A and B are shown apart, each in its own frame.
Chain A
Amino acid sequence: MTAATAPTETVPPAGEAIVPLVEARGIVKRFGTFTANDHVDLAIAPGEIHALLGENGAGKSTLVKMIYGSLQPTEGRFFWKGEPVGITDPNTARRLGIGMVFQHFSLFEALTVTENIALALSDVADINALANRIATVSRDYGLPLEPRATVADLSVGERQRIEIVRCLLQEPELLIMDEPTAVLTPQEADQLFVTLERLAGEGCAVLYISHRLEEVKRLCHAATILRHGKVVGHVDPRVETAAGLARLMVGADVHAVRPRHARTAGPTRLHLDRLDLPASGPFAVALDRVTLELRAGEVLAIAGVAGNGQSELFDAISGERTVSRADAVRIDGRDCGRIGVTGRRELGAAFVPEERLGHGAVPAFRLSENVILTRHATCEDAGLRAGFIDARRAGSTAARVSEAFDVRKGRPDPEARSLSGGNLQKFVVGRELDRRPTLLVVNQPTWGVDAGAAALIRQALVDLAADGSAVLVISQDLDEIFEIADRIAVISRGRLSPAYDAHVMTLEKIGLLMGGAHGGSDRIDDAEKLREADGHAH
């Protein structure tokens, strides 16, 4: 981090106060006929925390991959401290002093922190010396990390620290962070901001990729906004309003979800009673006495940091994994713990999994075929007659769903994998809502989806509940949860907290429940016992 003060050979052009640390000029990147980056300019000064804002698919990742050397620009040049450079591969980038923390970590769960970092570094002579350096660096930057801990035992926040420390060991002058807070609790995010500010204070520039406007406003000194591969603005986020930034990102005003009418408690649609599910593998999460009651007409959201049992819970509710105790899962009053997913759909339930491609839809199948996937047993118009598929009816159902949910596609009936994330998600959600389910369970409804599609999906979920269905939303996005939920529960290490009314929930409270591993879950149990005791007393 001291290299920034080293003398450079180049004389800055007259009139420019500081030579930018890194500069992109006229960067164009084409994939076939698709232009991902269209004459993008970007300049980052030393010690600056620079936000790169944009919706999914705006070209943020493409630009960053070129700065990190994993992609090559079709046109345009990069300048490093005023000198033109070709960043041909990530090794070159690292030699220049560029470090990157990816959104999805590449860590070996069975190895220790030190071993993982040693694998990423090219020249490790002495593993004990490395462990000491890790301890020193992590302490210096407020990133507490135990070098001998096994990665599998660490939380996502701690795993992210490993990646950050790995970058810091290479003494970068530019640190790229790709959506770092997507996987963190609010408290962990706060801690990260302190670290980043400290790094910036020492002269290290940070390129911060995000679509969370509040944290960009709070943390960043400058922002470059991308839309459809083009730069639509270089702004100072500290003086812009969040709404103004959103307008630049989306190109139009984002509609807020319409408030719903007063909730009327309907009959119980989904009842989980001390649901246990063993872990499916050595590093998977087991569900531990999950209890939940979901009524018609309400949206219940389950918050939690990724990897705390959300997908296991979804599988157990959808029936993809069955349990031995039939009354652990009740849909509309019927015991169905041992019934599979088709039987549960026949009871009026519908499910939208987290993973669109390969779980919610078959990538190589056309939309009309993907309609049949979840509706073959329950719907007349899925296009099935006596075991035979009626392609015409399946096609018209797919067209109806696409029409109702504004699914944009190049041709009438494309393969699922050719759709963008947002459009496919609209289709997958729309396919289920088209059945008018009495119970809908959605895992990460707007994960990786652009703001326009996210607003449409959230509105549809709220409307479904208003029409008298029960909606269960599992989400990591707290803004989304506060926008649509009537009640909120938090999942942590396979345990579910009681559900609280959304208006009494605060970010701090959710954060505490998310950190349940540090004694929190026991407190929840105690609270439950207290309430049970109260109930008996009255």
Chain B
Amino acid sequence: MRIELEKRAERSAVMAWASPLVAVAATFVTGAIIFAAIGIPPLKGLYVFFFEPLSSLWSLEELVVKATPLILIGVGLSVAYRANVWNIGAEGQLTAGALAGAFVPIFYNSWQSPATLVAMLALGVLGGMVWALIPALLKIRTGANEILVSLMLVYVSQLLLDWLVRGPWRDPHGYNFPKSVSFEGWQTIPTIGDGRLNLGIVVALAVAVGLAVLMRHTLKGFEVRVLGEAPRAGRFAGFSSDRMTLFVFLLSGGLAGLAGIVEVASTVGQLQPNISPGYGFTAIIVAFLGRLDPIGVVVAALMLAVSYLGGEAAQVALGISDKAARVFQGVLLFWVLACDTLILYRLRIVRGAPAAEGV
């Protein structure tokens, strides 16, 4: 007896939606096994990790705060990946956006008007775009692999941030801590209510809806999908894959930059060596779990935000490393990609080969 993969005639609409659910279920099972292996009761572990974060209003607000950058970056990446362009460096573009946006409060510290915030957000987008332009142009001009270039630029931008906050951009009144000045008033994003929830989520949702319309109902979205699915057919349609590479890098880089400035202008409140717990990388999982569809990305971002909160809760309640969150995210990505096979193939159990007995 063996299991065979059999190609379906068309992609299965049912599995396209069921596959992420199967992947999440498989992640729970894998998680339970991991918990059991390190001596934690599996059900307790899963409860602390995945369900406790959903049990209070405070943690639900925190969920949305964590999901905001994941949505912003994830929707941009989902468009890029649809076009078969692999921007892996969103974390670097996030950092570049945060640096560019922070230019305003650091050098024009007394400027306080709504325009201040607009300028910061615009510069954040621009910073992400500039950082994304580097792998895009290198790919177009020299054929350099965008995965490697964009990934390596992550470390460049993080070291640049590190140097700036320890050196020239350090707060002169900050007791030599590696931090910039704190952002105040219109240098931060207005909050909703009195918690950490802020208007960033509104921006993120608006962007997601906008990109959903772009992908589903416009010629530009059509162009993205054609070039991603069949580049030769895209050229036949008169679309340019070079221009598409540029477009999706600017889009996804700009949105990662926006996520960066939104993050430092809200929850972080200043520049410091660590401004993101790997949102740019987690957003890659978000994009795939969300079926590379902007609306799906919103749902997926909320799910991945749970794993961040669960990681923090597990540190406290179970005494395990905060790297546990990364493990769960990795396991989830693995299962998502594996389950996606079932969209184009079906499993079939074969009992013996009829012709084999003649030998």
A residues near B (Cβ < 8 Å) are 31-32, 72-75, 77-78, 84-88, 92, 318-320, 340-342, 345, 351, 353, 355, 358-365, 369, 372-374, 376-377, 384, 387-389, 414-415, 417-418
Q: Are B236 and A359 within 8 A (Cβ)?
A: yes
Beyond A340-B238, A353-B236, A374-B236, whether A362 also contacts B10 by CB under 8 A is no
Q: Are B230 and A85 within 8 A (Cβ)?
A: no
The interface residues of chain B lying within 8 Å CB-to-CB of A389 are: 217-219, 222
Q: Is B237 an interface residue (CB 8 A)?
A: yes
Residue of B nearest to A318 (CB): B236
The interface residues of chain A lying within 8 Å CB-to-CB of B237 are: 341-342, 373-374, 376
**In the bound complex, what is the Cα–Cα distance between A88 and B217 (angstroms)?**
50
9 closest A-B pairs (Cβ-Cβ)? A86-B358, A342-B238, A86-B355, A341-B238, A418-B9, A362-B230, A358-B230, A359-B232, A86-B359
**In the bound complex, what is the Cα–Cα distance between A389 and B215 (angstroms)?**
10
Q: Are B354 and A387 within 8 A (Cβ)?
A: no
Given A78-B355, A87-B355, A418-B9, 8 more pairs with CB closer than 8 A = A73-B354, A88-B355, A88-B356, A365-B225, A369-B222, A376-B238, A387-B218, A389-B218
Q: Are A415 and B11 within 8 A (Cβ)?
A: yes
Q: Report the minimal beta-carbon distance from B233 to chain A, rounded to whole angstroms.
A: 5
Q: Is B235 an interface residue (CB 8 A)?
A: yes
Residue of A nearest to B216 (CB): A389
Beyond A358-B230, A364-B229, whether A418 also contacts B10 by CB under 8 A is yes
The interface residues of chain A lying within 8 Å CB-to-CB of B304 are: none
Residue of B nearest to A27 (CB): B355
B residues near A (Cβ < 8 Å) are 6, 9-11, 217-220, 222, 225-226, 229-230, 232-233, 235-238, 353-359
Beyond A373-B233, A374-B237, whether A85 also contacts B9 by CB under 8 A is no
Beyond A86-B359, A362-B226, A364-B229, whether A341 also contacts B236 by CB under 8 A is yes
The interface residues of chain A lying within 8 Å CB-to-CB of B218 are: 387-389
**In the bound complex, what is the Cα–Cα distance between A364 and B344 (angstroms)?**
10
Residue of B nearest to A321 (CB): B235
**In the bound complex, what is the Cα–Cα distance between A87 and B354 (angstroms)?**
11
**In the bound complex, what is the Cα–Cα distance between A270 and B309 (angstroms)?**
66
The interface residues of chain A lying within 8 Å CB-to-CB of B217 are: 388-389
Beyond A92-B359, A415-B11, whether A345 also contacts B238 by CB under 8 A is yes
**In the bound complex, what is the Cα–Cα distance between A417 and B233 (angstroms)?**
14
**In the bound complex, what is the Cα–Cα distance between A320 and B358 (angstroms)?**
54
The interface residues of chain A lying within 8 Å CB-to-CB of B222 are: 369, 372, 376, 389
The interface residues of chain A lying within 8 Å CB-to-CB of B238 are: 319, 340-342, 345, 376-377
The interface residues of chain A lying within 8 Å CB-to-CB of B236 are: 318, 320, 341, 351, 353, 359-360, 373-374
Beyond A342-B238, A415-B10, whether A77 also contacts B232 by CB under 8 A is no
Beyond A376-B222, A377-B238, whether A75 also contacts B354 by CB under 8 A is yes
Q: Are B355 and A376 within 8 A (Cβ)?
A: no
Beyond A72-B355, A86-B359, whether A387 also contacts B233 by CB under 8 A is no
Q: Are A84 and B358 within 8 A (Cβ)?
A: yes
Residue of B nearest to A342 (CB): B238
Residue of B nearest to A83 (CB): B358
Residue of B nearest to A411 (CB): B10
Residue of B nearest to A74 (CB): B354
Q: Report the minimal beta-carbon distance from A426 to chain B, rounded to whole angstroms.
A: 18
The interface residues of chain A lying within 8 Å CB-to-CB of B225 are: 362, 365
Beyond A358-B233, A359-B232, A362-B230, whether A85 also contacts B358 by CB under 8 A is yes
Q: Are B356 and A32 within 8 A (Cβ)?
A: no
Q: Report the minimal beta-carbon distance from A323 to chain B, rounded to whole angstroms.
A: 16
The interface residues of chain A lying within 8 Å CB-to-CB of B355 are: 72-73, 77-78, 86-88
The interface residues of chain B lying within 8 Å CB-to-CB of A384 are: 219
Q: Are A355 and B10 within 8 A (Cβ)?
A: no
Q: Report the minimal beta-carbon distance from A29 to chain B, rounded to whole angstroms.
A: 11
Q: Are B354 and A373 within 8 A (Cβ)?
A: no
Q: Are A358 and B354 within 8 A (Cβ)?
A: no
Q: Are A387 and B220 within 8 A (Cβ)?
A: yes
The interface residues of chain B lying within 8 Å CB-to-CB of A86 are: 355-359
Most chain-A Cβ atoms within 10 A of its Cβ — which of B232, B237, B354, B359? B237
Q: Are A362 and B233 within 8 A (Cβ)?
A: yes
Q: Are A361 and B11 within 8 A (Cβ)?
A: no
Q: Are A417 and B10 within 8 A (Cβ)?
A: yes
What are 10 A-B contacts defined by CB distance under 8 Å? A72-B355, A73-B354, A74-B354, A88-B355, A359-B233, A387-B220, A389-B218, A389-B222, A415-B10, A418-B10
